[in-house]
Amino acid sequence: MSERTPLIGQGHSNGASNHHRTGSLAKIRAVLTAEGEPSYLQSFRWILFGSWWNVLLVFVPLSMVAHHLDWDAALRFSFSFFAIMPLAKLLGEATDQLSIELGETLGALLNASFGNAVEIIVGIAALLQGQLRIVQTSMLGSILSNILLVLGCAFFAGGLTHHEGNFEATGAQAASSLMTLTGITLILPAAYHAAYSLPPGGNPPAPDDGTKHGLLLISRGTSIILLVLYIAYLNFQLRTHPDLFRRRLHPGEQEEEEEQEDKEMNLPAAAVALLAITLVTSFCADYLVASIEEFAQRYEIPEAFIGLILLPIVANAAEHFTAVWMAMKGKMEITMGIAIGSSIQISAFVIPLLVIIGWIVGKDLTLYFANFETITMFVSILLVNMLIQDGKSNYMEGLMLIGLYLVIGLAFWAS
């Protein structure tokens, strides 16, 4: 009997192992077959035909044809410009559908990662083509678009439907403080450059500029630090202090029930859609960036204006609509999360990430912006900080933010 005991135990072990393997395979099969969930046909039909906004998808093949047949620069730029708008919305919808399945924490992390996917794709496309000025102006423009135009329109629209909007001031201040820090990190390279060598016009350093080595060292080191701080901020917001980012109820006020988002796609379909849309967006972004220089020269439009104003409007179109709609419904926490949160993603995650990618591929992207751009960003952050410190908003504050954005746009058009 004693000799048979190990054999019996081994048999049980194999049986348990086989049972575990069978159970895992059954779970994988259940996910792939989408049991009890929307079918693949329903999922892809919803993502493609679920919104009138998707009519603009016709510009996707047009942009590809225009690029490969070398049509006029205006057509190539315009087709790619309008193609990215619905793709940005579809990226957000696919991400939201994945978030429903993955849960609150993983979903929030996924939204944080893909929330600015269009900006990352456009930035990488411009970086690989050596368009460093387009990278810088488009990133700066995304920040200004979110904190001035998106937040300003949301405050204005919310102020027209409600006498006053309320949001949790502590969480907003924590977010704006990190945004202020990232603004300071852009001032330091400019100050370093001004202290040693300032070329005519205050443009970024030429390859033979004596400060370039120092700027690269500062920028790359700062980028690593900012990425660490961004990861810490996500942990702070999602795990350790999430209560700071939820509105506190006043005495006698009842908590509103959270609207559950409808599940329109199964998990594999949402993942496939996300990858496919990202791939198509990368091609359209590449076509867009390739047409900017010729388009700007032929029609005498400043490249800085294209990067700072036009490109961010495309990338933030879907977010813009959502932020305004949430403000009109009185859900200012969501509005702040979209506008301020997206700006933090750009300044503390996307820009440092692009600097690191440039380092890897041999493109000398730095955190040194022209003096005018640096001042523009800092005064914008200053105004936003002053307006949100009381945890309240109204339509007049929205008009102030929109007004500053228009003045900045006018200044860059004149450049």
Q: What is the CATH number of the domain that holds 311?
A: 1.20.1420.30
Residue 210 sits at φ, ψ, to 5 deg, of -65, -20
The neighbouring-strand residues paired with 392 are: 166
Beta carbons of 401 and 157 less than 8 angstroms apart? no
Domain membership of residue 336 (yes or no) is: yes
Q: How far is CA 305 from CA 173, 335, 353, in A?
A: 30, 26, 23
Q: Domain containing 182: what range?
A: 38-198+206-414
Residue 192 lies in a domain: yes
In a domain, 331, yes or no: yes
Which tens digits make up the pLDDT trace of 162-185?
A: 888 888 878 888 888 888 998 898
Provide the pLDDT for residue 334.
80
Number of domains the chain is built from? 1
- Supply the pLDDT for residue 4: 47
Whether the CB-CB separation of 353 and 227 falls below 8 Å is answered with: yes
Is 22 among the domain residues? Answer: no
- Residues (pLDDT < 70) of the chain are 1-36, 103-109, 111-113, 115, 197-210, 246-261, 318
pLDDT for res 8? 46
- pLDDT tens column, 10-48: 545 555 555 555 656 655 565 566 666 788 888 899 998
Predicted local distance difference test score (pLDDT) of residue 207: 45
Tell me if 13 is assigned to some domain.
no
Supply the pTM of this predicted model: 0.79
15 inside domain? no
- What is the structure's pLDDT at 7? 45
Is the residue at 386 inside a domain? yes
Predicted local confidence at residue 323, as pLDDT: 82
Exposed e or buried b for every residue in 50-86, given b needs 16+ CB within 10 A? eeebbebbebbebbbebbeeeeebebbbbbbbbbbbb
Place of tokens 């030429």: 206
Question: Would 11 be classed as within a structural domain?
Answer: no
